[in-house]
Structure 1
Amino acid sequence: MTSITFWFDVHSPWVYLASFRVGDIARKHGLPLRWRPLHLPRLLDEIGGVKPLEASPQRVAWFRQDMRDWAELQGVPLRQHPRYPLRNSRALRACILAEDEGRGEDFARRVLRGYWAEEADITDLDQLARWGGEAGLEPAAVKAAAVSETLKERLDANTREAIARGVFGVPTVDTGSRLYFGNDRLDLLDIHISQGKIPIA
């Protein structure tokens, strides 16, 4: 293993929570981390996956409680957007540009914070451009990326690749030999790398 992949979609509160830790775990072990956006609704449709907010009222109530509990445990703000779910495609296309430019983590984390802590509109091109500037990107390039057909095709390709890798939800960390699904599996990832269960090349 010479790098690890973080499959994500900004739609997921669990991705937001994981975004605070996954980069630090990779850096702790000297591993490059690839931030690979996928289109979660499309992935779930393709594989017949579980859509948490379409589950029973009891499960949805538990899901929301668990989300709040983890945010409190991690000491981070979390507020579900009043218009959730917003369309995610523009933000995800811009995330591909950011990763290409070596700013994937900074930009994705800024978008996630805007969506999950500030109730910001991730579909707004000017907002995405401003966040891009904060992350060290050219704002005009972010705006163009958000509506790029080429990056739409790459996002579709990412989603297909994730499905082929066995990904069934996000956040998922892919080591090449193992998948670690969920914010609550990051500790296990860290332990397994430390124990040599996932060899580092």
Structure 2
Amino acid sequence: MTLTFWFDVHSPWCYLAAHRIGDLARKHKRELLWRPLHLPTMADQINGRRPLEANPAFVAWYQQDLQDWAALQKLNVHYHSHYPLRNSRALRACLWAAEQNKAESFVKRVLLGYWAEEGDISSLDQLALWAGDCGLDGEAVKAAAQSETYKAQVASNTQEAIARGVFGVPTVDTGTKLYFGNDRLDLLDLHLTSQPI
């Protein structure tokens, strides 16, 4: 069973889940594919969830829940002062990093930068610096972030995810079941425990 981790750097829940999913896959000796998609496009196409546009009581609970999960995972999380920043360059860079077998470290670095350090995910220079933190070539990351090929791949990923029934991120796809949300990774763990290799 291969696990597919569908994510977008726009989501704080992807930030939290990205810090768990690698260890979970290793625990169960499963291959893990890091697949970025364009969440705003998905939401537009399927009339998807927009939690921050819900009623005030839900938004207040949602923000509390986010902070509670972050505290549980010992991570700091807050919305960028200019949220939402354009995500396309970061998503393309994540695709390139995955091709270099550095998806986990780079995606986690980008998410940490955006969700805990006020980093600019739309800045080529910032992406290059984060790439250097992960042992990647900054200039190559800049090129990937502007690549039409990777732009098309993100669009293709988004359509593939929709076809699979993905409606939000983070989602882990086992091939037969979908687990949506950072808080469903415990259920994924239980499922994988019941599905020995």
Judge same fold: TM > 0.5, yes or no.
yes
| 1:30-179 superposed matches below 5 A | 30-179=29-178
TM-score, structure 1 normalization = 0.96
Q: Secondary structure at the match of 1:130?
A: helix
Deviations for 1:104-142, whole angstroms, at most 9, x for unmatched residues? 111000000000010111111001011111112111010
Q: Cα deviation per residue 1:160-198 (whole Å; 9 max; x = unaligned)?
A: 0000000000000001010000000001101111122xx
1:185 corresponds to: 184
Output the CA distance in 2 between the equivalents of 1:161 and 1:136: 30
> How far apart, in 1, do the equivalents of 2:55 and 2:88 lie?
27
The aligned amino acid for 2:96 is L
Q: CA RMSD in A?
A: 0.9
Q: Report the TM-score when normalising by structure 2.
A: 0.98
Return the letter of the residue paired with 2:123: D
Q: Distance in 1 between matches of 2:150 and 2:125?
A: 18
- Following the alignment from structure 1 to structure 2, what is the Cα–Cα distance between the partners of residues 19 and 69? 17
Residue identity matched to 1:44 = A
Q: List, as ranges, runs of 4+ consecutive aligned residues in structure 1 with deviation greater than 6 Å.
A: none
Which letter does structure 2 place at the counterpart of 1:63?
A: Y
**Number of matched residues?**
197
Rounded to whole Å, the distance in 1 between the matches of 2:45 and 2:99 is 27
Q: Any residues of structure 2 matched to 1:6-21 within 5 Å, and which? A: 6-21=5-20
Deviations 1:92-114 (A, max 9, x none): 00000000110011100000000
Q: What percentage of residue pairs aligned between the two structures are identical? A: 64
How far apart, CA to CA, are the structure 2 residues paired with 1:8 and 1:20? 12
Q: Gapped runs of 5+ residues in structure 1?
A: none
Q: Give secondary structure in 2 for the equivalent of 1:60.
A: helix
Q: Give secondary structure in 2 for the equivalent of 1:34.
A: strand
